[in-house]
Amino acid sequence: MNIIITGASRGIGRETAISLAAQRNNRILVVSRTESLLQKLSRETEFNNISYIATDLNESLRSPEGFLEQVDSHFKKIDILINNAGILIYKPFTDLNYSEIRLMTETNFMSPMLLIKALFSSFHRGSHIVNISSMGGFQGSSRYPGMSVYSAGKAALANLTESLASEYEKEGIFFNCLALGAVQTEMLKEAFPGYRAPLKAGEMAGFISWFALEGNKLFNGKVLPVSVSNP
Ligand SMILES: NC(=O)c1ccc[n+]([C@@H]2O[C@H](COP(=O)([O-])OP(=O)(O)OC[C@H]3O[C@@H](n4cnc5c(N)ncnc54)[C@H](OP(=O)(O)O)[C@@H]3O)[C@@H](O)[C@H]2O)c1
């Protein structure tokens, strides 16, 4: 399988890359901003099957030709895209400035959307796009102060998933969205110091890996809550 994972320099994305790379026949391309961490990750695997592109997706997707050339040098076709990169600036709504709102909206919604569009010609019948959302963006879930713009971006990504699954059903391209509950990562620690999530990144990554490989046999256009806690 040819697999692209965004946001894999740390946290859930990194663990998902490691989990998928444990299968020799998977070739993983990871994308994040921090080159040193991606380089370290690419050297850790037994089968030497993780390569990387170090880029800020919010920048490179504005005019994606250069980025697409880099992707093309690794993969001509893509079996799985995991849109995992995300950012949380945990602040009351009225304290967020324009740059912070823009950064969260771009990272959590615009860039995953633009990446799907940019890579579309490399998808084929059976390709699976997995968008990583949050319980904060899941319809009807509890809402929390300080997470309004983050949650709204994640909700938009979930909605986009449903729309694209319907629009490209005939082409046989599958789109699903996982709305994750709390996972112990740097993102969570920075926002909620002292809170202990019920899941480690590796545990969630195991599920995401399985879902990316098998979930399109069971689901299409679904937004699935993946949570045992509230939040
Ligand atoms: N942890 C939780 O409790 C939780 C709950 C629900 C949903 N989620 C979602 O799960 C995903 C992973 O979360 P996490 O907790 O593992 O977060 P994390 O540790 O902060 O990791 C986020 C990843 O996204 C990358 N990234 C951020 N902005 C980027 C950009 N502009 N271009 C390219 N890469 C970028 C970061 O790498 P660089 O800094 O190197 O670019 C990093 O690898 C996120 O979408 C998050 O919203 C997490």
Atom of ligand 1 nearest to the CA of 154: 47
> How high is the pLDDT of residue 142?
87
Mean pLDDT of 19-32: 97
- Nearest Cα residue to atom 25 of ligand 1: 7
Ligand 1 pocket mutation, candidates 15, 19, 84, 203, criterion most atoms within 8 A of CB: 84
Q: How far is the CA of 170 from the centre of ligand 1 (A)?
A: 32
Q: How far is the CA of 54 from the centre of ligand 1 (A)?
A: 14
Q: How far is the CA of 11 from the centre of ligand 1 (A)?
A: 7
109-165: pLDDT as tens digits:
999 999 999 999 999 999 999 999 999 999 988 888 999 999 999 999 999 999 999
Residues 6+ apart with CB under 8 A from 125: 171, 172, 173
User: In 3D, which of 173, 131, 175 has the Cα closest to residue 155?
Assistant: 131
> How high is the pLDDT of residue 144?
87
186 CB under 6 A from ligand 1? yes
CATH architecture of 2-226: 3-Layer(aba) Sandwich (3.40)
38-95: pLDDT as tens digits:
999 999 989 999 999 999 999 999 999 999 999 999 999 999 999 999 999 999 999 9
Q: Does position 191 have pLDDT exceeding 70, yes or no?
A: yes
> How high is the pLDDT of residue 162?
98
Q: Does position 230 have pLDDT exceeding 70, yes or no?
A: no
d(CA 126, CA 191): 37
| Extents of the domains making up the chain | 2-226
Token readout for 222 is: 């679904």
Rounded to two decimals, the pTM is 0.98
Residue-wise DSSP of the chain: -EEEEES-SSHHHHHHHHHHHTSTT-EEEEEES-HHHHHHHHHS-TT--EEEEE--HHHHTTSTHHHHHHHHHH-SS-SEEEE---------GGG--HHHHHHHHIIIIIHHHHHHHHHGGG--TT-EEEEEEEGGGSTT----TT-HHHHHHHHHHHHHHHHHHHHTTTTT-EEEEEEE--EESHHHHHHSTT---SEEHHHHHHHHHHHHHHGGGT-SS-EEEE-SS--
> How high is the pLDDT of residue 228?
83
> How high is the pLDDT of residue 231?
59
Mean pLDDT of 160-185: 97
Token readout for 209 is: 């890996």
Residues 6+ apart with CB under 8 A from 214: none
Mean pLDDT of 207-218: 98
Torsions phi, psi of 193, nearest 5? -60, 135
Mean pLDDT of 204-208: 98
